[in-house]
């Protein structure tokens, strides 16, 4: 009995020790092995055990590519159309967008293919060919302040027109401690440094090196001495009135903490390309790990992915090998776009046409699948419609004996005509022409003998829309004897001789067309 009790107590003690040991040896999550190590249903960086500093890649500048808009610009000086940006002085900076206004000098060339999206801004700086000096800027309130003593980088694209129109420029960034200081002037087109609320925080000489109609990327370093809440971009104040230069464009402004640019993607090209991959700049001080949907991609420990693993959210983790600090980027969303477009084509009655090798002879909607030049799927919806033959009716009038011209045909007689015409789609259409002669009554005889009957020669217009402009009466030798709408049969207040005279009448129709009629008049005594 004693031995049995000792055995039982020993067994209980061992079991308790084992249970405690099991609790103490509970697994922790390993953050880069694509496994749920602690059995909590969360894998790798989806598990809160895997804590890294999350780096935001969003630009500190709002609307950095000028895509968000309040309206489509129709002319210069419409910065009010772009959200989160203003014209910060009296200088008329511009908003350009593919929906509307673009610089005339840049139409139909590479400069209108903006680096990012469909919008950009433009400003003038320097003296134009007629000697007028321009100094324009664009301004914005930042998403968050630039902190004093911290280091930032601004990467942006500058658009240059011709070498003469966009010579080298000292591009400048000005900063202010308050967004309330925007605009810096509503009455002058001068420099921000003329106002004590603004200071220069960075500048750089930018040039196209003689190239025309190009976009070039530049990097500016910023280390403010005070907290900066608002910025202005344009020419350096030392860009004096004696310097030539006039127009520049800006697009794709990425302002962020200097260290966050460790995560900036190297342009991978089209997501439809077979060799598309994500990649960031290499740094020998860093170790890398790529993730998809928060789960490690085993073996993907280089700055560039070896391949894409399908559509979804990708992230990259950077560990500093010296400090062992861990940072991880915002998600990169990888989606292969499908380009959808619609085409409408008219099918005339009894006809057909060929589209992409297929004969189309009926109304309906047809779907075609293509591969775009970039390798993406492109779906074209072809809507085929048959127009209804319409009968248009035209009412027209002409002077007796004259011709009426329409659709390459001339008509000389009154009547109703059916004319076959062709629509802009190439289909048959019918036009009914109802043609009438204009009625203008010109008396051919009158007797100014003061008997109260037919004593005055007068022209009567019996058509609406006709206006009598002038009436001329000539004798048989061609002498002008009257310019009045009515003739009492006298010449210089002396009774004219009986005989034949000529009347010439000038009329204007409702379309402004001038009509001239003539007739002989017999004067009886």
Residues 294, 277 contacting (CB under 8 angstroms): no
Q: How many residues belong to the chain? A: 525
Structural domains in the chain (count): 5
Note whether residue 100 is domain-resident.
yes
Residue 282 makes CB contacts below 8 A (sequence gap 6+) with: 303
| 3 state DSSP class of 375 | coil
Note whether residue 74 is domain-resident.
no
Q: Are residues 321 and 449 in the same domain?
A: no
Note whether residue 366 is domain-resident.
yes
Q: Give CA–CA dist 232/135, Å, rounded.
A: 12
- For 409, the token pair is 């045909």
Print the domain residue range for 297: 24-57+264-335
Q: Give CA–CA dist 498/446, Å, rounded.
A: 10
Q: Are residues 206 and 94 in the same domain?
A: yes
Strand extents, DSSP E, 321-466: 326-329, 332-334, 339-346, 353-355, 358-360, 364-371, 377-385, 391-398, 404-406, 409-411, 415-422, 428-437, 440-441, 445-446, 457-458, 460-461
Quote the DSSP letter at residue 387.
Answer: P
Q: Give CA–CA dist 179/382, Å, rounded.
A: 51
Could you read off the pLDDT tens digit of each residue along the chain, which spans 525 residues? Answer: 433 343 334 343 434 434 444 444 457 899 999 999 999 999 999 999 998 999 988 999 999 999 999 999 999 899 999 999 999 999 899 999 989 888 765 555 778 889 998 999 999 887 766 767 788 999 999 999 999 999 999 999 999 988 788 889 999 999 999 999 999 998 888 889 999 999 999 999 999 998 989 999 999 999 999 999 999 999 998 765 445 667 899 999 999 999 999 999 998 788 888 889 999 999 999 999 999 999 999 999 999 999 999 999 999 999 999 999 999 999 999 988 777 888 888 888 778 888 888 888 888 899 888 776 666 778 888 898 887 777 788 888 777 767 788 888 888 888 999 888 877 777 878 889 998 887 778 888 999 988 889 999 988 877 777 788 899 999 989 899 999 889 999 998 899 999 999 999 888 876 677 778 888 999 998
- Can you name the residues that pair with 383 across neighbouring β-strands? 344, 365
- For 121, the token pair is 């801004």
- For 361, the token pair is 């002879």
Residues 165, 247 contacting (CB under 8 angstroms): yes
- What is the biggest distance separating any 2 CA atoms in the chain, rounded to whole angstroms? 170
Note whether residue 65 is domain-resident.
no
Radius of gyration, alpha carbons of the chain? 42
- For 358, the token pair is 């297929």
Cis omega (within 30 of 0) on the bond before 294? no
Q: Are residues 358 and 447 in the same domain?
A: no
Q: Are residues 206 and 87 in the same domain?
A: yes
Q: What is the CATH number of the domain that holds 249?
A: 2.60.120.260
Q: Are residues 88 and 173 in the same domain?
A: yes
Note whether residue 406 is domain-resident.
yes
Q: Are residues 230 and 101 in the same domain?
A: yes
Q: Are residues 89 and 183 in the same domain?
A: yes
Residue 101 makes CB contacts below 8 A (sequence gap 6+) with: 72, 73, 74, 75, 76, 78, 94, 95
Q: Which one, of 157, 140, 131, lies nearest residue 216 by Cα? A: 157
- For 294, the token pair is 């928060």
């Amino acid at each position: 009995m004693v031995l049995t009790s000792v055995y039982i107590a020993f067994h209980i003690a061992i079991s308790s020790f084992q249970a405690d040991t099991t609790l103490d040896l509970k697994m922790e999550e390993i953050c880069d092995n694509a496994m749920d190590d602690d059995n909590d249903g969360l894998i790798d960086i989806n598990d809160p055990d895997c804590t890294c500093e999350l780096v935001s890649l969003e630009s500190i500048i709002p609307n950095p590519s000028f895509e968000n808009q309040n309206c489509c610009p129709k002319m210069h000086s419409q910065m009010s159309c772009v959200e989160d940006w203003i014209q910060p002085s009296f200088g008329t900076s511009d908003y350009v967008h593919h929906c509307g206004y673009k610089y005339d000098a840049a139409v139909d060339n590479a400069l209108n293919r903006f680096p990012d999206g469909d919008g950009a801004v433009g400003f003038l700086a320097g003296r134009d060919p007629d000697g007028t000096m321009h100094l324009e800027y664009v301004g914005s309130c930042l998403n968050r302040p630039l902190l004093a003593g911290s280091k930032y980088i601004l990467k942006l694209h500058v658009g240059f027109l011709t070498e003469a129109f966009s010579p080298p420029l000292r591009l400048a960034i000005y900063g202010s401690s308050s967004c309330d200081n925007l605009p810096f002037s509503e009455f002058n087109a001068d420099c921000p440094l003329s106002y004590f609320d603004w200071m220069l925080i960075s500048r750089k000489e930018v040039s196209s090196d003689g190239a025309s109609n190009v976009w070039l990327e530049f990097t500016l370093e910023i280390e403010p001495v005070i907290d900066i809440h608002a910025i202005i971009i344009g020419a350096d104040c030392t860009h004096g009135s004696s310097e030539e230069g006039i127009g520049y464009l800006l697009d794709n402004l990425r302002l962020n903490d200097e260290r966050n640019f460790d995560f900036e993607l190297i342009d991978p090209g089209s997501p439809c390309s077979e060799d598309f991959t994500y990649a960031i700049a290499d740094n020998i001080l860093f170790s890398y790990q790529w993730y998809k949907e928060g789960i490690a991609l085993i073996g993907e420990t280089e700055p560039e992915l070896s391949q894409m693993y399908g559509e979804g959210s990708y992230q990259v983790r950077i560990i500093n090998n010296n400090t062992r600090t861990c940072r991880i980027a915002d998600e990169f969303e990888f989606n292969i776009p499908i380009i959808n477009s619609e085409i409408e084509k008219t099918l005339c009655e009894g006809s057909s046409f060929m589209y992409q090798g297929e004969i189309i002879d009926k109304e309906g909607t047809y779907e075609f699948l293509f591969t775009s030049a970039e390798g993406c799927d492109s779906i074209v919806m072809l809507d085929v419609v048959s127009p209804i033959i319409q009968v248009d009716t035209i009412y027209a009038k002409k002077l007796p004996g004259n011709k009426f011209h329409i659709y390459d045909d001339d008509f000389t007689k009154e009547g109703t005509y059916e004319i076959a015409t062709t629509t802009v789609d190439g289909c048959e259409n019918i036009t009914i022409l109802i043609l009438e002669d204009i009625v203008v009554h010109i008396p051919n005889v009158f007797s100014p003998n003061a008997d109260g009957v037919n004593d005055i020669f007068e022209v009567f217009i019996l058509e609406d829309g006709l206006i009598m402009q002038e009436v001329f009466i000539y004798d048989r030798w061609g002498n002008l004897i009257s310019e009045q709408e009515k003739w009492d049969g006298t010449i210089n207040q002396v009774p004219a001789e009986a005989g034949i005279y000529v009347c010439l009448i000038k009329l204007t129709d409702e379309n402004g067309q001038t009509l001239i009629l003539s007739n002989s008049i017999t004067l009886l005594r």
